[in-house]
Structure 1
Amino acid sequence: MTRTWLITGVSSGFGRQLAEQLLARGDRVVGTVRRPDAVADLVDTHPDTFAVQRLDLTDTDRIRSVVDDARAHFGRLDVVVSNAGYGLFGAAEELSDEQVRHQLDTNLLGSVQLIRAALPHLRAAGGGRVLQLSSMAGQAAWPGSSLYNASKWGIEGFCEALAPEVAPFGIGVTIVEPGGARTAFGSSGLRFAEPLDAYDVSPAAAVRAFRDGGPPGVIGDPARMAAAMIDSVDRDPAPLRLVLGSDSWAGMTAALEARLDAVRAQRATAAATDS
């Protein structure tokens, strides 16, 4: 089945992998980028099935018009992939107010507004899919990534509530939770706080080592991960979560079990406040 996809952030990483694989199999793709020259080769190679739109997710006033134009270009939308984003690292106190706002405006509010703008088109088409790129950091938190965690936990909460809201319209929602992958995210996709000497002794200081190219020992194959995302669109019902990578599975499982243990231990004290 030939589908029309809208994918944010197709200049590199998962977005680029998705676009290349989809175009190779004959699907149509509208990809958003901040610099159209970054995908000039895709425009040249696939002039009839690839269209590019300039978009920065912090420009929320432009999101709806970009989505509307994407639908108009090919006449329909079948799958929307909210992929664009980046990681902000550093202790919470080290981050500037501007960095905090930009992280949430991009990863959380930009993604929310993109999905909201797409829903009328998916409903009109009688259904479709939304894939929201999250991370293992959407379920597991570590010192030094508090704002990145906040953005991913926030978008996961939004999508988890959204899924049953739109299910009656035939729209499936999938939260994609990859572990580490060998993409440019480990370099160009990371931003850092200005370090404070006081945090040299904090566990948050460990993320400073990522400035030189991200965490070591990354095992995820981005091509295989992109293929798994594409395959998930054929699954019915849509999986609410798509865990990609053994590191993601291990990290999320450990975090969820620890949280559940902490909650279960308070069963009696929780009931003590009942009237």
Structure 2
Amino acid sequence: MATWFITGVNSGLGRAMTERLLERGDRVAGTVRREGSVDDLRAKYGDQFWVAHLDVRDLPRVREVVDLAWDELGRLDVVVNNAGYGLFGAAEELTDAQVVDQIGTNLLGSIAVVRAALPHLRVQGGGRLMQISTYGGLATNPGASLYHAGKWGIEGFMESVAKEVAPFGIGVTIVEPGGARTEFRFGSLQLATPMTAYDDTPAAMVRGAQDRSRPSLGDPVKMAERIVAAADEEPAPLRLVLGSDAYRFITTALRERLAQVEPQERTAAATDWVGPQ
């Protein structure tokens, strides 16, 4: 029986993972922003399901909750950063408050959870950190610049942390889902107030994100099962791609990036220092 710490367990992949883990007998320490949203799971699973109220933008509270979970449960085998939301709209259309909240939740909150968990994982001699990202952490679409900013930022952070903590037996996995049939697009997703200047530009594409006539490809239950299974893989897969759309977007973006960079090998080297050392 493993003990998992998962942020944002009230809906989406967080909820699907929690249900799968509890069903198979693991313990879950989950956090929610909306109190009462997982009362059904608490009633069904009792002490197997530990819950705390947490807004990951409250960085001191993040550490308090992680420490409390550790103290009460005795160990944390897998720590999953799942809490987050989408913010779509051209950069110019967003308010300052929207920018701050998006980065605070999707980037700073995830960083805080990792920093709070690492001392405990080191003490117990290992564990696994899992970051729920998106294919948008490696590829971009117009109209999602701030969402990409947070996801690209957390992917860089997690990739570097993976190298820092490997000597302690701590594995890191960045999960790259494509679109999933959750309430991500229809619940927490925020859209900027549109500016007419962007009406006929690529950035306007995201204004239809909440159109229910265009369902996402991904099955959240299958995605949750794949994430849970990956936690047992050794060595930890640094990236876990979920969905044919995610695979397509990521591989296309990486190929395009290489095509832009590789022709510059000679001109890049031309700026090297060639004088006396």
TM-score scaled to structure 2, two decimals?
Answer: 0.97
Matched, 1:107 2:106: yes
Query: Residues 196-247 of structure 1: CA distance to partner in whole angstroms, max 9, x if unpaired?
Result: 111112210110111344x824111100100010101111100000000111
What is the percentage of aligned positions where both structures have the same residue?
59
Give the SS at the match of 2:171.
strand
Q: What's 2:225 paired with?
A: 227
Matched, 1:70 2:69: yes
Q: What's 1:264 paired with?
A: 262
Give the SS at the match of 1:70.
helix
What is the 5 A alignment of 1:184-195?
Answer: 184-195=183-194
Matched length: 273
Query: Residues 60-113 of structure 1: CA distance to partner in whole angstroms, max 9, x if unpaired?
Result: 120000001111221111110000000100000000111011000000000000
Q: What's 2:48 paired with?
A: 49
Q: What's 1:237 paired with?
A: 235
In the alignment, the residues of structure 2 paired with residue 263 and residue 106 of structure 1 have an alpha-carbon distance, to the nearest angstrom, of: 32
Conserved? CA contact 1:131–1:175, under 8 Å: yes
Unaligned runs of 5+ in 1: none
In the alignment, the residues of structure 2 paired with residue 265 and residue 95 of structure 1 have an alpha-carbon distance, to the nearest angstrom, of: 36
TM-score scaled to structure 1, two decimals?
Answer: 0.97
Q: What's 2:3 paired with?
A: 4
Give the SS at the match of 2:46.
coil
Q: What's 1:84 paired with?
A: 83
Conserved? CA contact 1:83–1:132, under 8 Å: yes
Q: Which consecutive aligned stretches of 4+ in structure 1 deviate over 4 angstroms post-superposition?
A: none
What is the 5 A alignment of 1:41-190?
Answer: 41-190=40-189
In the alignment, the residues of structure 2 paired with residue 189 and residue 248 of structure 1 have an alpha-carbon distance, to the nearest angstrom, of: 21
In the alignment, the residues of structure 2 paired with residue 23 and residue 152 of structure 1 have an alpha-carbon distance, to the nearest angstrom, of: 28
Conserved? CA contact 2:181–2:215, under 8 Å: no
Shift of 1:20: 0.4
Conserved? CA contact 1:192–1:211, under 8 Å: no
Query: Residues 38-74 of structure 1: CA distance to partner in whole angstroms, max 9, x if unpaired?
Result: 0000110011200110000111120000001111221
Unaligned runs of 5+ in 2: none
- Code of the residue aligned with 1:225 in structure 2: it is M
